[in-house]
């Protein structure tokens, strides 16, 4: 801890010195009398001041929560000396907020006893938020000397984003083998009626269509479309993060990805994730409750990392992009590497739906003729990029009006996009 | 609590600053008292010690001026003024604390209240002793060197204690 003299000490010493000097120089004992309480206070206060032996730690009542929740951080202070006036303040991440008066408090702690304070923290943004470090300021007797120090004690709270529940998922490109909620194109056992065909050996008697059989005088059976699951891979462009009035593009990306992932996992689909940016990370497609938590944890660590390294989809392992999977991309269409990767995916035959997370309406052009021309050129360039992706078979939907508006519009599609032949 | 402490501090400041005016009612002492009041008010508003220190310094000069022009010697109210001046600075400190620090437990105020009561008692006693000693030995030739040595020792003790506490 670092000791420092307070302005009060300086004021007391200067005033006492002036009064004593003036009293002696002018021969006025009354001025010395005025100095007496100041000197006594200085001697008593400074004589009892010593380096405090104090510790502090912080704990939170939960380690995982959702945006909008209130987390209670408990700061515990211990001092092994005579009771001292201890001021404590905790540092919090930008994703947390607290009343300014609640973040710092002052109390008397001493004689080895523990004092706990509960600081309510409002969770305002998703991500891995930290509570700490703890700043301690111990005031000596009479507050002439203060000892300040920082205790590097931190607690992390994983905050999951709030997302809008989708009523309908995105149309799958192809169904897979597991049972799910999508009606497969193939004919097999199922509920959805497919067609009627003549009976062959091995057909179940329960599937005989008696009406058609009686009309044609020949055994016919019903065939159905089975309910199967599908594969969805969420492709997150994390090369750049542009701040908009309604939130950052990365924020829109994570909220959109969470909504799509949660919907498809609820409907027994396999969901994979690819964070394509400065740090490329992926999560192979899987299903089930444990995978829901895995995805939530994965999305918490998504951040935009600046990198010059050229990256393409060859970087990704085969398992990250299963064949027949619907690729749902969230991208601000700013970084050339991400645009190239999306075009590459489309050209490789993956059905790709891209949500443009950068709404051009929220980008204001600069003042002046040159700025206007530059803004129009930028818009034309983006138009060209969209056309290029469209030619590669990527369906692009603007995120203007919110990502959920875009997702609702996309979920009303009857078919996923087809790659160009 | 901050508002109450500020009001107490301002009222006590007014009493301390106007005492030299009552002892020697001249235009200069009145002007200096006004300056001290203004300085303290500024200090209370900005919560800066510079204002309070300046106000106390002006008040001290004003008192010295009033003692020089006054006739009644020694001033028997000097110990009261001394304790009141010290109390004024302590109240200012508490007002600053109440404004700058977040939540403050009631027991912190209780501890300061206890300290102020005990210290003001001993400070008042010491002031009376100094006043009586000064009045009794005013004509003694050894008073000036002895008091100079005592004053230097007091300031040196304070500085040495401060250095020891900070090391």
A4 touching B (Cβ < 8 Å): yes
Buried b (16+ CB within 10 A) or exposed e, B139-151: eeeebeeebeeeb
Rounded distance between C-alpha atoms, residue A128 and residue A215, angstroms: 68
Q: What is the sign of the dihedral through the CA atoms of A90, A86, B90 and A4? A: negative
What is the per-residue pLDDT for A7? 92
What is the per-residue pLDDT for A380? 94
**Strand-pair partners of A369:** none
Give the up-direction half-sphere exposure of residue A76: CA atoms within 13 A in the CB hemisphere: 8
CB contact under 8 A, B122 and A40: yes
Domain spans in chain A, listed from the N-terminal domain onward: 6-47, 54-160, 187-225, 228-411
| Segment A127-130 long-range contacts (CB within 8 Å, at least 24 positions apart) | A127/A93, A127/A95, A127/A159, A127/A300, A128/A156, A128/A157, A128/A158, A128/A159, A128/A300, A128/A301, A129/A92, A129/A93, A129/A95, A129/A96, A129/A156, A129/A157, A129/A158, A129/A159, A130/A92, A130/A93, A130/A154, A130/A155, A130/A156, A130/A157
* Assigned token pair, A356: 């443009």
Share of chain A above pLDDT 90, in %: 25
Instruction: Determine which of A116-130, A407-421, B67-81 has the lowest per-residue pLDDT on average.
Output: A407-421
**What mean pLDDT comes out for the span B39-49?**
90
What is the per-residue pLDDT for B96? 87
pLDDT at residue A416 greater than cutoff 70? no
CB pairs under 8 A between A and B: 191
Q: Is residue B32 within 8 Å of B61, Cβ to Cβ?
A: yes
CATH 3.40.50 holds for A228-411: yes
What is the per-residue pLDDT for A415? 64
pLDDT at residue A361 greater than cutoff 70? yes
CB contact under 8 A, B123 and A83: no
Residue A185 CB neighbours (<10 A): 11
Rounded distance between C-alpha atoms, residue A117 and residue A111, angstroms: 18
Between positions 1 and 60 of B, the ones with CB within 8 A of A are 48-50, 52-53, 56-57, 60
ipTM of the complex: 0.89
**What mean pLDDT comes out for the span A153-181?**
82
Q: Is residue A247 within 8 Å of A217, Cβ to Cβ?
A: no
What is the per-residue pLDDT for A142? 84
CB contact under 8 A, A106 and B97: yes
What is the per-residue pLDDT for A52? 76
Q: Would strands A227-238 and A270-277 be described as parallel, antiparallel, or unpaired? A: parallel
**What mean pLDDT comes out for the span A242-268?**
87
For B136-158, write each residue's pLDDT tens digit: 777 677 777 777 787 778 778 87
Q: Is residue A270 within 8 Å of A181, Cβ to Cβ?
A: no
What is the per-residue pLDDT for A214? 94
3-state secondary structure of A252: helix
What is the per-residue pLDDT for B36? 92
What is the per-residue pLDDT for A153? 85
- Predicted confidence band at A420 (pLDDT cuts at 50, 70, 90)? low
CA distance A265 to chain B (A): 47
User: Given this structure, which CATH class describes domain A54-160?
Assistant: mainly beta
**Strand-pair partners of A108:** A85
What is the per-residue pLDDT for A233? 93
Q: What is the average pLDDT score of chain A?
A: 85
A143 touching B (Cβ < 8 Å): yes
For A285-328, write each residue's pLDDT tens digit: 998 889 989 998 888 888 777 777 777 777 777 778 888 888 99
Length reported for chain B: 167
**What mean pLDDT comes out for the span B59-81?**
82
CA distances from A112 to A6, A81, A84, A141, B107 (A): 26, 7, 11, 18, 17
3-state secondary structure of B72: coil
């Amino acid at each position: 801890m670092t000791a420092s003299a307070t302005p009060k000490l300086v004021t007391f010493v200067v005033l006492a010195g002036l009064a004593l000097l003036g009293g002696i120089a002018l021969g006025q004992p009354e001025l010395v009398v005025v100095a007496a309480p100041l000197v006594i206070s200085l001697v008593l206060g400074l004589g009892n001041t010593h380096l405090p032996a104090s510790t502090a730690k912080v704990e939170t009542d939960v380690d995982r929560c959702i945006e909008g929740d209130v987390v209670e951080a408990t700061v515990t202070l211990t001092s092994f000396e005579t009771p001292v006036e201890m001021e404590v303040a905790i540092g919090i991440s930008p994703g947390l907020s607290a009343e300014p008066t609640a973040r710092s408090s002052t109390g008397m702690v001493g004689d080895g006893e523990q004092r706990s304070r509960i600081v309510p923290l409002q969770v305002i943004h998703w991500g891995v938020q930290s509570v700490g470090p703890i700043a301690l300021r111990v005031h000596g007797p009479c507050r002439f000397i203060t000892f300040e120090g920082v205790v590097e004690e931190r607690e992390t709270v994983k905050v999951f984003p709030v997302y809008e529940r989708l009523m309908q998922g995105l149309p799958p490109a192809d169904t897979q083998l597991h049972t799910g909620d999508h009606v497969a194109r193939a004919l097999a056992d199922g509920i959805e009626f497919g067609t009627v065909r003549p009976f062959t050996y091995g057909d179940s008697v329960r599937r005989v269509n008696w009406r058609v059989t009686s009309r044609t005088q020949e055994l016919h059976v019903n065939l159905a479309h089975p309910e199967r699951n599908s594969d969805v891979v969420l492709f997150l462009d994390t090369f750049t993060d542009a701040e908009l009035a309604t939130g950052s593009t990365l924020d829109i990306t994570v909220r959109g990805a969470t909504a799509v992932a949660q919907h498809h996992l609820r409907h027994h689909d396999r969901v994979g994730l690819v964070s394509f940016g400065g740090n490329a990370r992926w999560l192979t497609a899987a299903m089930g409750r444990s995978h829901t938590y895995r995805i939530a944890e994965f999305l918490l660590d998504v951040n935009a990392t600046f990198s010059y390294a050229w990256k393409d989809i060859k970087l990704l392992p085969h398992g990250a992009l299963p064949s027949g999977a619907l690729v749902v991309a969230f991208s601000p269409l700013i970084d050339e590497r991400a645009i190239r990767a999306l075009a590459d995916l489309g050209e490789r035959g993956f059905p790709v739906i891209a949500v443009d997370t950068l709404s051009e309406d929220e980008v204001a052009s600069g003042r002046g003729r040159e700025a206007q021309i530059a803004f129009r050129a930028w818009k034309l360039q983006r138009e060209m990029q969209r056309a290029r992706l469209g030619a590669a078979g990527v369906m692009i939907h603007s995120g203007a009006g919110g990502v959920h508006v875009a997702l609702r519009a996309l979920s009303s599609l009857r078919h996923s996009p087809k790659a160009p032949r | 609590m901050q508002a109450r402490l500020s009001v107490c501090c301002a009222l006590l400041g007014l009493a301390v600053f106007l005492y030299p005016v009552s002892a020697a009612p001249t235009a200069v002492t009145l002007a200096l008292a006004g300056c001290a009041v203004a300085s303290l008010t500024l200090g209370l508003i900005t919560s800066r010690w510079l204002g309070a220190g300046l106000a106390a310094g002006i008040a001290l000069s004003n008192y010295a001026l009033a003692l020089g022009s006054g006739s009644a010697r020694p001033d028997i109210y000097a110990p009261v003024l001394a304790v009141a001046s010290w109390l004024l600075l302590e109240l200012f400190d508490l007002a600053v604390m109440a404004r700058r620090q977040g939540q403050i437990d009631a027991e912190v105020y209780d501890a300061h209240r206890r300290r102020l009561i005990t210290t003001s008692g001993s400070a008042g006693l010491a002031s009376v002793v100094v006043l009586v000693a000064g009045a009794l030995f005013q004509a003694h030739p050894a008073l000036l060197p002895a008091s100079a040595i005592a004053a230097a020792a007091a300031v040196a003790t304070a500085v040495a204690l401060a250095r020891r506490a900070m090391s």
